[in-house]
Structure 1
Amino acid sequence: MSHPSETLRGKRVLVTAGTKGLGKATVELFLELGARVLTCARTAPVDAPQASFVKADLTTLEGCEQLAGEVERQLGGVDVIVHVLGGSSAPAGGFAALGEAHWQQELDLNLLPAVRLDRVLLPGMLAQGGGVIVHVTSIQHQLPLPEATTAYAAAKAALSTYSKSLSKEVAPKGVRVVRVAPGWIETEASVALAERLASEAGTDYEGGKRIIMQALGGIPLGRPASPKEVANVIGFVASPAAAAVTGTEFVVDGGTVPTA
């Protein structure tokens, strides 16, 4: 069996949204494992890991096509694709607060970039007879919060269903497709949210974290996951150690989802 540090050595890896949070942790891990990594974001990083970087807006077809072209130009193809890009800017207020533009924004951010990049890059994986695609979904597709995450959760549910269907199509041809579904991750954005909630409630940061955990229905582990902890799961499913794993979803939520 290969040493863990050798499992991805020399592999060509694309990680979307790899300059902050989970994306940055994932890029750092793959670099540690010896991979050649290309990542992207809408703005150039200030202190990102030493990976190749492409400035691209993946919420547009043009941005996805630009990135796919850079994958071919800089890496000469790809062995692993990790679709980290996602998030939500939709307002709170339930279904009535979500207009046409909000719904389209959620789909443009959480579903269509993966669909578009796979459509361009997957044929190369099939031609080489192997590869791994990791779609980062969310426990929200099982546990949506009606007040604030309806559109986001629906888009992630669509991504999950697309991923499952794709896995059934391409597994016989040597390409594995796996989903990783995080719960609450303690990223820069979530830290800012906890601090804002703490300020509004007149409490400290730990109190702000408890407010978020209560909104999620509780986290039995008692804390959010770190970006590195979720990245470690992504690294495992992308590695030869998970060679028989495809079409499934790995939940990393500290026990938040109450059913299996």
Structure 2
Amino acid sequence: MTIQLQGKIALVTGSSSGIGRQIAETLAAAGASVAVHYRKGKEEAEAAAAEMIRAGGKAAAFYADVTKIEEMAVMVEEIQTQLGGTIDILVNNAGDLIQRVTNAEMTEEHYMRVMDVNLKSCVFLSKLVIPGMTAKGAGKIINLTSVAAHDGGGPGASIYAASKAAVITYSKGLAKELAPQGINVNCMSPGFIGHTSFHATHTSDEGRKATIAKIPLGREGTPQDVADTALFLASSLSDYLTGETIEINGGLFMR
């Protein structure tokens, strides 16, 4: 079976590189018109969109700081104008650990930065796309969480872990709220996914090797592993699935 997303408009936040870019490329390859979002990587986002177009898809790059409601609203309006319709698929991928900070060193500024990029972005981008989805009686919202939401994360990551746990709980509540409108809300929870700037920035080579040694499937994940799950959740194959969290970790964490 080939998954087809023709006629759908998808917004993938944080999609100029890494997991987000792979999700965007995978949705575009399935026929969706994809909004490639960036905050810092303008050239990378434009290059990603151009690559999707060369491959026969439809895509464009859009800027916003997803910790600022006004900028998110402007971006959604621009996407709807440029891509010719309301958003059918929202993938809230943007997020960050920012840096490892112990609770003894925690500042309000760090706390707010982490919570805003990981949770506030999900809440208010979802709010912005809900009217269009409700008008159509259908929509898919996919929120990225993390295995850290279950185990508290590594050293100095407690607030990051808490923000990702909040995403799971928020998604369950939103799923109940939107189910009568035909809108599905689910989470993806990646484990150790290699080839990303996240681990290049925050994980030592020693830590990487130690983590991989614990994975039952014997390897780190890839961005494509996450993108394949996103494709399933964005498609009609997941129409009877809502309020769930899919673990993508090779067996590292089993519920």
The alignment's TM-score, normalised by the length of structure 2, stands at 0.89
The Cα of 1:208 is off from its aligned counterpart by 5.7
8 A Cα contact 2:188 2:245, kept in partner: yes
The aligned residue for residue 204 of structure 1 is none
CA distance in 1: counterparts of 2:248 and 2:121, whole angstroms? 23
CA distance in 2: counterparts of 1:111 and 1:187, whole angstroms? 24
Q: Which one-letter code corresponds to 1:185 in the other structure? A: I
CA distance in 1: counterparts of 2:15 and 2:189, whole angstroms? 17
User: Structure 1: 5+ residue runs without aligned partners?
Assistant: 199-206
The aligned residue for residue 45 of structure 1 is 43
CA distance in 2: counterparts of 1:31 and 1:186, whole angstroms? 22
The aligned residue for residue 86 of structure 1 is 95
Q: What secondary structure does 2:98 align onto?
A: coil
The Cα of 1:118 is off from its aligned counterpart by 1.1
Q: What secondary structure does 2:227 align onto?
A: helix
1:34-113 maps to which residues of 2 (within 5 A)?
Answer: 34-43=31-40, 44-46=42-44, 47-50=47-50, 51-75=59-83, 76-92=85-101, 94-113=102-121
8 A Cα contact 1:91 1:98, kept in partner: no
Q: Does 1:219 align with 2:227?
A: no
Q: What secondary structure does 2:80 align onto?
A: helix
Match for 1:170 among 178, 192, 197?
A: 178
CA distance in 2: counterparts of 1:191 and 1:251, whole angstroms? 18
Q: Which one-letter code corresponds to 1:102 in the other structure? A: H
CA distance in 1: counterparts of 2:149 and 2:199, whole angstroms? 22
Q: CA RMSD in A?
A: 1.9
The Cα of 1:209 is off from its aligned counterpart by 2.7
1:211-234, Cα deviation, whole Å (9 max, x unpaired): 4447xxx22222211001110001
Q: What secondary structure does 1:30 align onto?
A: helix
Q: What secondary structure does 2:151 align onto?
A: coil
Match for 1:129 among 134, 137, 146?
A: 137
CA distance in 1: counterparts of 2:218 and 2:37, whole angstroms? 33
8 A Cα contact 2:96 2:198, kept in partner: no
- More displaced 10-residue stretch of structure 1: 140-149 or 126-135: 140-149
The alignment's TM-score, normalised by the length of structure 1, stands at 0.87
Q: Does 1:237 align with 2:244?
A: no
8 A Cα contact 1:90 1:98, kept in partner: no
8 A Cα contact 1:17 1:23, kept in partner: yes
CA distance in 2: counterparts of 1:186 and 1:146, whole angstroms? 16
The aligned residue for residue 209 of structure 2 is 210
The aligned residue for residue 201 of structure 1 is none
Match for 1:158 among 163, 166, 175?
A: 166
- CA 147–208 in structure 1, closer or farther in 2 if over 3 Å, else same: closer
Q: Which one-letter code corresponds to 1:91 in the other structure? A: R
Q: Does 1:32 align with 2:39?
A: no
- More displaced 10-residue stretch of structure 1: 104-113 or 136-145: 136-145
Q: What secondary structure does 1:251 align onto?
A: strand
The aligned residue for residue 253 of structure 1 is 249
User: Structure 2: 5+ residue runs without aligned partners?
Assistant: 51-58
4+ residue stretches of structure 1 with deviation over 4 A?
A: none
CA distance in 1: counterparts of 2:30 and 2:2, whole angstroms? 7
CA distance in 2: counterparts of 1:84 and 1:28, whole angstroms? 14
Q: Which one-letter code corresponds to 2:241 in the other structure? A: V
Percent identity (aligned): 33
The aligned residue for residue 54 of structure 2 is none
Q: What secondary structure does 1:4 align onto?
A: coil
Q: Which one-letter code corresponds to 2:106 in the other structure? A: L
CA distance in 2: counterparts of 1:146 and 1:211, whole angstroms? 12
